[in-house]
Amino acid sequence: MTNFSYAAGEELNPLIPHTAEIIAGAVAFGLLYLVIRSKVFPMFEKAFAARTEAIQGGIEKAERAQQEAQAALESYTKQLADARGEAQTIREDARAQGVAIVEEMRAKAQEEAARITAAAQATIEAERQQAITSLRNEVGALATELASKIVGEALDDHVRQTRIVDRFLEDLEKSKN
C-alpha cells in the first residue's frame, strides 16, 4: 500500500479511490479487455455462428422433411385413389362377367330344354305313329271280321282287307272333318 499524504485539512473519504488505484485499475481493465476481445470474444462468435448455423440447418432440414412428407402423403393419396378406382373396375368387371355367365347358363339351359322337348316330341310322334298303325291293324281286323259276318263270306285276302280298311278309315276321317 502506498502512503499518500493528504493535506492536513483534508479528510479521507473511503468512497473515493486514490489516483494510483484508478490508473492501475484502468490499465488492468484495458489489458483484460484486449485479452477478452482477442481470445474469448472470437470463441463466443464462433459458438454463436455454429449455433446459428445448426439452428438454420435444423430449420431447413425440418422444412425439407416436411416437404418430403407432404409429397409422400400426396403420392399415397394418389395411389389409394388409383387402387380404389382399380378395385371399382375389378368389381364392375366381375359383375359383368357374372351377368354374362348367368346369361350363358340360361341360354344353355334353354337349348337343353329345347333339345329335350324336341326329343320328347319325336318320341311322342313315333309312339303315336306306332299306336295309329297298331290301332289301324286292330280296327282293320275287327272291321274285316265284322264285314265277313255281315256279308257272309270270308275276306281272307290280305290285299283286299287292307283296301277295305283303308277306305273305311278314310271315310271315317272325312266324316269327322
Spatial neighbors of 13 by CB under 8 A, at least 6 apart, are none
CB atoms within 10 A of CB 148: 14
Amino acid at 72: A
**Cell numbers given for 132:** 295309329
DSSP, residue by residue, 108-120:
HHHHHHHHHHHHH
- Please give the chain's pLDDT, 177 residues, in tens: 444 555 545 677 788 888 899 999 999 999 999 999 999 889 989 999 999 998 988 899 999 999 999 999 999 999 999 999 999 999 999 999 999 999 999 999 999 999 999 999 999 999 988 988 888 778 777 777 777 777 666 656 667 777 777 787 788 778 876
Number of helical H runs and strand E runs in the chain: 3, 0
**Cell numbers given for 159:** 290285299
